[in-house]
Amino acid sequence: LTAFREVEDAMAAWHDDVEHTELLHRAAEDSRLASDRARKLYSAGLVGFLEVLTTERTALAAENAEAEARLERLQDAVNLYTAMGAGWQGVAVTATALPVSLEKQNILARAFKE
- Residue spans per domain, the chain: 2-112
pLDDT for residue 8: 83
pLDDT for residue 4: 76
Q: Residue 11 CB: number of other CB atoms within 10 A?
A: 15
Give residue 90's pLDDT band: very low, low, confident or very high (50, 70, 90). low
pLDDT for residue 93: 56
| Per-position DSSP letters for the chain, written without gaps between them | -HHHHHHHHHHHHHHHHHHHHHHHHHHHHHHHHHHHHHHHHHHTTSS-HHHHHHHHHHHHHHHHHHHHHHHHHHHHHHHHHHHTT-----------PPP--HHHH-HHHHHH--
Give residue 108's pLDDT band: very low, low, confident or very high (50, 70, 90). low
pLDDT for residue 92: 60
DSSP structural state of residue 97 = P
Threshold 0.85, pTM exceeds:
no
Give residue 15's pLDDT band: very low, low, confident or very high (50, 70, 90). confident
Please tell me which residue, 45 or 85, carries the higher pLDDT value: 45
Q: Write out pLDDT tens, residues 16-73.
A: 888 899 999 999 999 999 999 999 999 999 999 999 999 999 999 999 999 999 998 8
Q: Give the residue among 26, 2, 21, 16 at the shortest CA–CA distance from 83.
A: 2
Find the angle CA(99)-CA(104)-CA(107) to the nearest 5 degrees: 150
Q: At what angle do helices 49-83 and 2-43 cross, to 10 degrees?
A: 160
